[in-house]
Amino acid sequence: MLGRRRLPEHVASGDVTDGGPGLFEGIEMKIKRKSKAKRKRRCKTQASLENKLKVDLEAGNWGKSRLSKCIEGAQKNVLLSYVNFNPYFELLEDVTDIFEKAQSLLSCADDKESMISSFLTRDLGSFIASIRLGASGQGIESYTQFRLCLEYALYAFFMHKDPDRVQIWSNRQESEAAGKLCRNTFQAGKMIKELMNEYKRFYWMYCKTK
């Protein structure tokens, strides 16, 4: 049998005041060196990928064709908008945080809540897409994405109010009857009416706190 490795006396005795810190400092330094080397490799890999992308873009005549010029100009407009209208972007960041908080309240283990969470994910995607289009100078084009954002939010709200509606939505393609039931359940008028009723309730509660 292999014998146990003998520990230093100050460790075996539990006394870390005499020579102990040196041991832990050595471990800490070793961890720091590994972390630094890992960050260095990551930066080197990132730089290598960026250089390769630049070469590939030049080889593909990026920025020379009409389409690529338009895309490049739109990307530059987004960055300029972020710099020139930063206070507005800070407000949009707060809205993005609300999406994340809402999703954190839903359980991915529950099928019904998972479906609602997926609508919120699409909702956030449409919200970001509308921001990107608007910031690029394509204001009118951003309207369709923002409308999708509102629709996804409405569907998520409507399902959250009655989780059984999730099953109706999931089964909408199972049969003609299931599709008809889904269309009748998820009518825009019905969903908006329920949203307005909820809004009135919260508005009344808000007024009571004044």
Residue 203 has pLDDT above 70, yes or no: no
pLDDT tier at 190, thresholds 50, 70, 90: very high
Return the higher-pLDDT residue of 183 and 209.
183
> What is the chain's length?
210
> Exposed e or buried b for every residue in 119-130, given b needs 16+ CB within 10 A?
bbebbbebbebb
Residue 106 has pLDDT above 90, yes or no: no
Domain extent listing, the chain: 63-205
- The percent of residues above 70 in pLDDT, for the chain, comes to 75
Instruction: Output the pLDDT for position 79.
Output: 94
Each residue of 58-81: pLDDT tens digit? 777 787 888 988 998 999 999 999
Return the higher-pLDDT residue of 206 and 79.
79
Q: Please say whether the dihedral angle defined by the alpha carbons of residues 76, 80, 86 and 88, taken in this order, is positive or negative.
A: negative
Instruction: Output the pLDDT for position 59.
Output: 75
Each residue of 131-149: pLDDT tens digit? 999 999 999 999 999 999 9
- The percent of residues above 90 in pLDDT, for the chain, comes to 46
pTM recorded for the entire structure:
0.69
Helices (H), the chain: 9-12, 20-59, 66-84, 86-104, 111-135, 139-161, 164-170, 176-185, 188-208
Instruction: Output the pLDDT for position 16.
Output: 47
Each residue of 11-63: pLDDT tens digit? 444 454 444 455 556 666 666 666 776 776 777 677 777 778 777 777 777 87
Classify residue 26 as left (phi > 0), alpha (psi -120 to 50) or beta: alpha
pLDDT tier at 10, thresholds 50, 70, 90: very low
Instruction: Output the pLDDT for position 91.
Output: 92
